[in-house]
Structure 1
């Protein structure tokens, strides 16, 4: 049995949220934003109608909450299907060896690698922005500009979380909101601003931005050390064969001493470097998947 026609926009959004229960939280946020934007635009275009009359009118055009929810579910499934790589014929399950070396042609591994390097810069920026913003908000709290500054700071945090979500979706392949998160509908402007401060997702976003700096340093160290070691092992046999100094030069008691690895070990060193390179690609791809889930948990409002 369909629900009764809602009489207010917040009631419509509540019914839409209820109809979308269990769906992807990012998709729910997009649907709620689109619905509120459309309904408020309809209300502005027809000032002679109250909310109840306007909602009764758009129920046949925009759709009732359960109808809109079904449209979004279908559309989301179609988009996911379109984004998946098409296969003309069934492909046999790959062997363990093929899956191990197949990571070299997986774009997700290289996008995650780039994201992990980029996180060092974005993490420092987010950390600095949050620490400076909270510090200045505390300092301005006793002044008349304190409240506007705090509101502006939290608004910028919400905007940065939306930008970070777009980066995460593009590079890590995790579905993130494609619409900004609207303030809590209903009530006065002060009640809506207050809801922004009491929303747990606001504080989890601040925690995420503070966490990004240590994560960025950790990711950068994993990438640089791991791949440098892998490339070094791969190139070491060629350096040994073509360098006049053998495998390298070390200083012992103030004197330079050349050293050489046994020739029989060079193939194993080369193979070890190549294998480590593929292992690092798997590690990077796995970290990217884990970070995507962390970002979705902390940045996206639960349905």
Structure 2
């Protein structure tokens, strides 16, 4: 006869099976999957009296550890593809222990080139913005200020001529 497990023991067994299913994956991925699963179970069973039927239903609704592991692995692959354009990071994982692995990483060279290009481009951008901005202020002062000045001067001349008359 199978021993009866408590709620915490069943959740812990599920989490251990999830860790086994995620073996060889990034530690952050495993931690995220464990946190999400444990949070889901705690939220689902929080206000209810734990019964075997309820715990089984919550676990079944969430999915088997293998299904959840496959989901997280696929999501990690999609995110890496979107962010880095890499379909797999197995080569990077194998070389990551090496002290000279940074010299083999193409994205490091791209970042270095961007760093050297960024400073001169930002200086040119700021100079262009100041030049165009300053000339716009001067032009707007001339375009708007001159008619206002002429209007005020004309008004002053008109009021003096009316006073003198």
Give the structure-1-normalised TM-score. 0.26
Task: Report the structure, 1 or 2, having the larger helix content.
Answer: 2
| Rg (Cα) greater in structure | 2
